[in-house]
Amino acid sequence: METKFKRVLDLVTQNGKVAIVTGAASGIGLATVKLLAEVGAAVALIDINEADGIVAAEQILETGGRAKFYLCDVTSDSECKKTVEEIHKEFNSIDILFNNAGVIRRKNILELEEEDWDLTIDVNLKAIYLLSKYVVPIMMKGKGGSIINTGSGWGIKGGPDAVAYCAAKGGVVNMTRAMAIDHGKVGIRVNCVCPGDIDTPLLRGEAEQLGIDENLFMEEAADRPINRVGKPQDVANAVLYLASDLSSWVTGTSIIVDGGGLA
């Protein structure tokens, strides 16, 4: 039993690996960088929230991990290119890319302004293209790697008053499949994690957008077979699985982490 357990630990460990996580200053991204650091990865935190991002990196350093924060607008080609170059120079390799940055605008197509559409598509979908464009060549020169994209349950089915978000996350799910086909032969796996309602600032912000009492909104979000709202750690655990050798023959798929909400 002890030997089998050690085998599992060997597959999960990320010692010597370098991970990039976007949207790393809070929520799912923050939980994920902390978990990846705990299992040995060096982590590059990307966010537009500089204050919280720096604090998150410092917390990891204080626990003996290796981390550095990078201020980057993931919708900007030039900033993504520059940031990836800086990360590669600092850490010498990139083995894991978790494209997690996201925004949501709770509006239907009649209410949605063009700037809302552009922001939602750019942050949730275009950013994956930009970061992957500059990370994939580095992975190709190495021993491959794992790319994980944050989709959503609403990337698999529709949802009310979130047309741009649903469009973007649907694109993420199918983009993941296409990337897996394109880059599998060079040892790069590409998968998608699709969270349900997770207790993050983004989710709680939806209540304000919809003009709904936050407590009532969170109670309704918990109405699923596993009778609670998800925690960022729930998704981080799935990301670790997809990043690790436990999933060495898993690519082009989406893992739904939603407490049974889509069941």
Indicate which residues carry an active-site annotation. Answer: 165
User: 94: which residues sit within 8 A by CB, 6+ positions away?
Assistant: 18, 19, 20, 84, 87, 88, 135, 138, 139, 142, 145
Bridge pairing between strands 254-257 and 96-99 = unpaired
Handedness of CA 247, 251, 257, 261 (dihedral sign): negative
Handedness of CA 168, 161, 258, 29 (dihedral sign): positive
Closest CA to 148 of 254, 249, 31, 2: 254
Closest CA to 240 of 36, 18, 96, 37: 36
